[in-house]
Amino acid sequence: MQLDSLGADAVIRGAFQKFNEQGLVLARVATAQRDHYRLFSERGELAAEPSGALSYRTPHRADMPAVGDWVAAREVGSGEAIVEAVLPRRTCFSRRAAGTREEQQTIAANIDTVFLVCGLDGDFNLRRLERYLALAAESGAAAVVVLNKSDLCADLAWRISETQAVANDAPVITANTRAPDGLAGLAAFLGFGRTVALLGSSGVGKSSMVNRILGEELLRTNEVRESDSRGRHTTTHRELIPLPQGGALIDTPGMRELQLWASEESIEDAFADIAAAAARCRFRNCTHTGEPDCAVAGAIAPERWESYRKLLGEARRHELMTDAVAAQAHKRRLKQVHKAYRNFDKSKRWT
């Protein structure tokens, strides 16, 4: 396995140098299922587990090896290894883990470009796309919106136009896995040393796209339900797949519920058109909820404005939950407000 093809550039090899001096090998994580990994190394494929030291000094699950990570591994037998360290990530696509606790779940690391795949059938959803774009902005990877199943769309020009209105600077391309040249638009983003991840809901056609790019039926595919255009999870785990021409694809299971793990800054980046419109408002403290000469109300669709407010609210809650200092400050402010209300109530009671 030529790791240069998978993206092992001078920066990666420089970060690995101290581990090379310890007799470890450089590898990239192809699959990660709990504490069992499949690695690509220049010695071949390796089945691996984390070392006890790595687990001990890594308190957050999100920092353990994930698909796409570069790691330093110690070979312990034929085709077996122990992961001793995770090299610094260049980019990281994450979401909030399921459950009540504010925990990060790493989807994939060291992605150059993320294909946000939307099916042009009955399950098309611009609000879901906005959420994906916000998470892509947080990840650091470049986003490309892929409108798949273009053959099923009655008004393709309109679909492209409304998608471009929410995609800002992200390129919007169409795809059709059934046409001979239906994936031509994707070629510009693939190449030697580059890693592309495919993200989207079940049934949008990610596995079919991977099979077409590879030129073989590597991944199983299912038909979607006719009633709602939704599919079942044909991909059951995340996987990094080397490409014949160099580079790699990361295929992921469909994610219908994508809980936010992003900062307010990433939300603002994903909704740059709203920030630009707000700068033209007559009043600097405009709340964009009906004031005269409000540039936002005149330029932004109401449903996009509501989506922005919702995601910004989630981002603020996330930052409060993950920043202990901010959380304590917020708690103190609430206590001060409650105290002021109690004092006000007492003063009214004795007048």
Residue among 24, 273, 261, 247 at smallest CA distance from 139: 261
**Sign of torsion, CA 317 323 324 330?**
negative
Please check whether residues 151 and 229 belong to one and the same domain. Answer: yes
pTM of the complete model beyond 0.95: no
Judged by DSSP in three states, 174 sits in strand
The residue among 132, 167, 171 whose CA lies nearest residue 252 is 132
Residue 350 lies in a domain: no
Question: Residue 72: which domain range?
Answer: 3-86
Q: Domain ends where: 195, 227, 251?
A: 251
- How far apart are the C-alpha atoms of 350 and 279, rounded to whole Å? 48
CB atoms within 10 A of CB 74: 17
| pLDDT digits 0-9 by tens, 154-180 | 899 999 999 999 998 999 999 999 998
Instruction: Identify the domain boundary among 51, 86, 121.
Output: 86
Mark whether 322 and 206 lie in a shared domain: no
CA angle 151, 152, 157 (to 5 degrees): 75
- Total domains present in the chain: 3
Separation CA 229–CA 225 (nearest Å): 5
Q: Which of 204, 238, 240 is nearest to 116 (CA)?
A: 204
Of 93-97, 131-135, 249-253, which has the strongest mean pLDDT? 131-135
Query: Does residue 239 sit in the same domain as residue 319?
Result: no
Q: Of 30, 63, 86, which residue sits at a domain end?
A: 86
- Pair (35, 128) in one structural domain: no
Same domain? For 214 and 125 the reply is yes
Tokens of 64: 């353990």
Question: Which of the residue ranges 11-20, 211-220, 291-300, 313-322 has the most confident prediction, judged by mean pLDDT?
Answer: 11-20
| 235 & 280 share domain | no
* Amino acid 99: pLDDT: 63
CATH number at residue 105: 3.40.50.300
Whether 233 is covered by a domain: the verdict is yes
